Structure 1
Amino acid sequence: MAVANAEVDVLIVGGGPVGLTARALLERWGVRVLLVEKHAELSPFPRSRLVNVRSMEIYRQLGLADRIAANAFAPEYARVRFRDTLHDRDFATAAMVGVNAPVPESPVIGVVTSQDRLEPTLLAAADAEVRFGVELVDLAEEAESVTALLADHRRGAETRVRARYVLAADGASSTVRPLLGIGTEGPGALGGFTTVVFDADLNRWCADQPAGIYFTPHGSFAPLYPEGGWAWFGATPEDTADADWPDVVSRALGPGADVRAEVLRVQHWVMNAFVAERFLRGRILLAGDAAHALPIIGGLGMNTGLADVHNLCWKLAGVLHGWAEPSLLRSYETERHPVALRTLRQAVANTQLMVQVLTRRRDQLQSGEPASAEFELPWSERFFAQLGLVLGVTYDSAAVLTGDGTPPPPPDGGTEYVPAAEPGHRMPHFWLTPDRSTLDVFGEWFTLLTPDPSRWAQHTDAHRPLRIEPLPTEHADLCGIHPHGALLIRPDGHIGARWHDRPSSDGTLHHALTAITRG
């Protein structure tokens, strides 16, 4: 068949939440995008279950937070429960902090929702072309572009698309990463698991103690949607070809459950734990699970990928529109690779802690203690919140100017979050008006936040998108500046530069923007 050719600014490979979010972000910047997804449709499986508070901040910026929350569970489901069987009472429980109730550090709250509920909202959030059933099979990089060979499984045709950049968000089993010869570091595959989506009436055991997930020694159970539906996931049985999946679920429910599940779908998957050695090569960039595959405990995987593209898309837009140098893209790897390594360590630690819980419970029962005996979880609620990983990400790169005497960020801030209006940090949230947060002033532009907008307006830079926002004088101390100082905030909400006082010269702001966009 004839080969069709097309040209775009960015080719996105992979139609999961990370790729779809990148599509929406880039379209807001006026970038021509084509997204290809090898599967024939959006995934029908729940997969990721948590949209954390930082991701909801990103979706607030895109105008999607309310729609996502409307399809999600109520906040009381933002809890994990540990049981000997699903029909036993809890022997331990922990809240998902930042999801079960608002936290003062953010204008939004995270939500428990299944990925198959999230993705349709993301697909509808942009008009850029999406081709399902189209698989990338090869790449050839040239001086000014990348040519991708695509196999259209629906039409039985091959198409070549030329893109100025390729963003690979094609999952842990990425096609693009090995094509680039990029290796990985970390434990690797942790084991094979199976998800069984089923219908059954489990309300008698769960309605009065709702949770986003119930951990048991026989696998984990998760409610799928507010109106009903369940998923079980656990280690993949040896003989999957002849497995009686309703019986597998019934046995996992425990003796005496007397429930027969109506199985709807079954998926086998591998839990991975690795970070790619590189996040970019030439004009091709990795994001999401293609760049870092994280164990599922703690819900860090998808959310880390969403933060990847929030960091990357404004940089791509700047390069494509000519107000940023191509060298700025190097800061994507410089900033996000350490975050991925740190998050991988935490996700592996979370997994080990979950194993500890179930092992200690087994030992407790085998010792003859009654099932009602007190059980203490091996972490504090502040540890389990992990807000340091979610809100406390700090960047140290050439796209952050720390010439105000701010020390470089620590290599690992732990799981606690301490707001700081310092270069490299996410801009702290506080209310500018009763319904407008500091986080609401960001968008497809740089933001200069200052108590003295008239003075700084004399130093604007016509070459780059910039808005000046007044900062109430009473908030100046919170930002570490004097009444004539300013914060320069990047489009991803991270502080790029800070001036304690008035600009030292007419070129102060121009020079800062030039340095940041050079990376």
Structure 2
Amino acid sequence: MPVPGAETDVLIIGGGPVGLTARALLERWGVRVLLVEKHRELSPFPRSRLVNVRSMEVFRQLGLTDQITAAAFAPEYGRIRFRDTLYGRDFATAAMVGVNAPVPESPVTGAVTSQDRLEPILLAAADARVWFGVELIGLAEETDSVVALLVNRHGGEETRVRARYVLAADGAHSTVRRLLGIGTTGPGALGDVTTVVFDADLDRWCAHQPAGVYVTAHGSFLPLYPEGGWAWFGPTPEDPAHTDWPGLVSRALGPTTEVRAEVLRVQHWVMNAFVAERFHRGRILLAGDAAHAIPIVGGLGMNAGVADAHNLCWKLAGMLHGWAGPRLSETYDTERQPVAHQTLRQAVANTRLLLQVQNRRRDQLRAGEASSARIGLPWSEEYFAQLGLVLGVAYDSDAVLTAPGTPPEPSESGTDYVPSTAPGHRMPHLWLTPDSSTLDTVGEWFTLLTPDPAHWERQATATTAWPLRTETLPYEHIGLCGLGPHGALLIRPDGHIGARWVDRSPSDATLRHALTTITGQPR
């Protein structure tokens, strides 16, 4: 319940997956957190349905992968199928790489699961305060804090909360973004969409050909939970108030089926496509859909928001605990905004290509071609991999230390992913033991990964101002990491490489200088 005059280190606005992930990460850092959500409870609507392999790596760090997987579909549901109707046969199909089966580039596999199954797991992952039914109506930034004006939506009481920082994860229609007057760039609204949640026995058509999404000429079908439940989504009709939703869904199932859909919920929404012009102003930061609204095709939106939180939370913790300078938060905008634009371009391309398939199929049917006719996909089987975008992100900012005169390696895009230990890149996954990955050495600390810990020991003991752990890299991996026998990688808490020394350190102050530079902490 709201407490008058409450104070906190970080005030999170919004209780979706991004806000809940940030709450769990910040609590692990020992940061005082208060999350407020304007609705009375977590959303009961399925909404986002894909946890990609990079998000699952973040959730592995939080110890949540087993719970998420237990509530999710089996890996074979990580596939998209194209049909004339749900009753019909596939005329095209593609795997979601990294979800459909394990990939050697990661210790985890993504999952097809509904957002209303994911959010309770994230809520239970931390004990930090959560106020439901409380809405933000005003913000005032002061010298070293932000004062938020909140209102209880059920009683009307107003409460002021003072926070050192505010993290806005309040969706595409963000109140915080509006209050700050931050504009957006991009296509904007792509169209009005309706999601219909319904019950029907569809096993006879889908049980032996599972998929996370069935795209038809009459909208898309999504199985919601392993034990049952379905959703249909498509363009909103001209007169939604008088639409026969059970009839519409039943017609999309197929003309010969006698199945009648039992409609449970109908939700109208707008498919937005934009990126905020900036991700932070002073002590107020935007994340998730508040920072970038990504079309749903390809399942990139929520996952980009989880990556936002992972990038930002260690920086907030450093500034609050005193081992990072106050300008470190500026690197959040520098690093994540280019990724948001790249993700938006990919998602818009996904949407256009999906429409191409649907339009080509309609043309075939109108021309009287047999329903068994194949259609050439406008992409390869690798199209839905997107590992380059998911795992290949590279940051270029003051929080990455590159050799003088050495530009950072470019980030991969689309499907291509080549593991790299160049500064700015995500640390590649390599098995250290049968159960432990290089990614498992990352946590609420910086990691110095080296084949020669003794060589770096004196430097490491002189860096007590920062959370730092030293981990041994087996010699069998030094070639893959581009290191000599005395080299080292300095990995940031978000798993991205902050600095690399191919062999011996140039001086006894090398490691301290790197941490000072990356964290923006004055000497």
Report the TM-score range of the alignment, normalised by the length of the smaller protein: over 0.9
On the 8 A contact 1:383/1:416 being kept in 2, the answer is no
Paired residue type of 2:97: V
Distance 1:472 1:3 in 2: 52
Matched, 1:89 2:89: yes
Superposition deviation, residue 404 in structure 1: 7.0
Superposition deviation, residue 304 in structure 1: 0.3
Superposition deviation, residue 411 in structure 1: 5.9
Distance 1:133 1:374 in 2: 51
Return closer, same or farther for 1:427/1:3 CA change in 2, 3 Å cut-off.
closer
The size of the alignment, in residue pairs, is: 518
Q: Please list every run of at least 4 consecutive aligned residues from structure 1 whose deviation after the TM superposition is greater than 3 angstroms.
A: 404-407, 411-414
Return closer, same or farther for 1:411/1:63 CA change in 2, 3 Å cut-off.
closer
Aligned-residue Cα RMSD (Å) equals: 1.3
Match of 2:286 in 1: 286
Q: Deviations over 1:59-80 (max 9, x none)?
A: 0001001110010000111100
Paired residue type of 2:480: L
On the 8 A contact 2:76/2:210 being kept in 1, the answer is yes
Counterpart selection for 2:499 from 479, 492, 497 = 497
Q: Secondary structure at the match of 1:118?
A: helix
Return closer, same or farther for 1:6/1:184 CA change in 2, 3 Å cut-off.
same
On the 8 A contact 2:82/2:215 being kept in 1, the answer is yes
Question: After superposition, where does 1:346-425 map in structure 2 within 5 Å?
Answer: 346-403=346-403, 406-410=406-410, 413-425=413-425
Q: Secondary structure at the match of 1:478?
A: coil
Moved more, 405-414 or 112-121: 405-414
On the 8 A contact 2:409/2:422 being kept in 1, the answer is no
Match of 2:471 in 1: 469
Matched, 1:220 2:258: no
On the 8 A contact 1:27/1:128 being kept in 2, the answer is yes
On the 8 A contact 1:3/1:158 being kept in 2, the answer is no
Moved more, 278-287 or 395-404: 395-404
Return closer, same or farther for 1:382/1:219 CA change in 2, 3 Å cut-off.
same
Q: Secondary structure at the match of 1:167?
A: strand
Match of 2:26 in 1: 26
Return closer, same or farther for 1:208/1:237 CA change in 2, 3 Å cut-off.
same
Question: After superposition, where does 1:20-99 map in structure 2 within 5 Å?
Answer: 20-99=20-99
Q: Secondary structure at the match of 1:402?
A: coil
Counterpart selection for 1:511 from 510, 513, 521 = 513
Match of 1:137 in 2: 137
Q: Secondary structure at the match of 2:514?
A: helix
Superposition deviation, residue 367 in structure 1: 2.7
Paired residue type of 1:427: M
Superposition deviation, residue 241 in structure 1: 2.3
Distance 1:12 1:407 in 2: 35
Match of 1:204 in 2: 204
Distance 1:252 1:156 in 2: 45
Q: Deviations over 1:219-247 (max 9, x none)?
A: 11100000000001111122222333222
Return closer, same or farther for 1:122/1:411 CA change in 2, 3 Å cut-off.
closer
Q: Secondary structure at the match of 1:479?
A: coil
Superposition deviation, residue 414 in structure 1: 3.9
Moved more, 229-238 or 331-340: 229-238
Superposition deviation, residue 5 in structure 1: 1.2
Distance 2:412 2:289 in 1: 22
Distance 2:341 2:325 in 1: 27
Q: Secondary structure at the match of 1:327?
A: coil
On the 8 A contact 2:7/2:161 being kept in 1, the answer is yes
Question: After superposition, where does 1:140-179 map in structure 2 within 5 Å?
Answer: 140-179=140-179
Moved more, 139-148 or 252-261: 252-261
Superposition deviation, residue 370 in structure 1: 1.3
Moved more, 479-488 or 240-249: 240-249
Matched, 1:313 2:310: no
Return closer, same or farther for 1:170/1:338 CA change in 2, 3 Å cut-off.
same
On the 8 A contact 2:483/2:501 being kept in 1, the answer is yes
Match of 1:117 in 2: 117
Match of 1:455 in 2: 455
Give the structure-1-normalised TM-score.
0.98
Superposition deviation, residue 409 in structure 1: 2.6
Distance 2:92 2:268 in 1: 29
Superposition deviation, residue 383 in structure 1: 2.6
Distance 2:167 2:243 in 1: 38
Distance 1:141 1:284 in 2: 8
Give the structure-2-normalised TM-score.
0.97
Distance 1:347 1:67 in 2: 28
Question: After superposition, where does 1:168-317 map in structure 2 within 5 Å?
Answer: 168-317=168-317
Superposition deviation, residue 369 in structure 1: 2.2
Q: Deviations over 1:86-131 (max 9, x none)?
A: 1001111111111011000000000000000000000000000111
Paired residue type of 1:503: S
Return closer, same or farther for 1:237/1:101 CA change in 2, 3 Å cut-off.
same
Distance 1:179 1:50 in 2: 31
Distance 1:148 1:479 in 2: 46
Distance 2:265 2:197 in 1: 5
Q: How high is the sequence identity, in percent, across the aligned residues?
A: 76
Moved more, 167-176 or 375-384: 375-384
Superposition deviation, residue 374 in structure 1: 2.1
Distance 1:171 1:141 in 2: 21
Return closer, same or farther for 1:478/1:63 CA change in 2, 3 Å cut-off.
same
Distance 2:267 2:167 in 1: 26
Superposition deviation, residue 394 in structure 1: 0.4
Paired residue type of 2:122: L
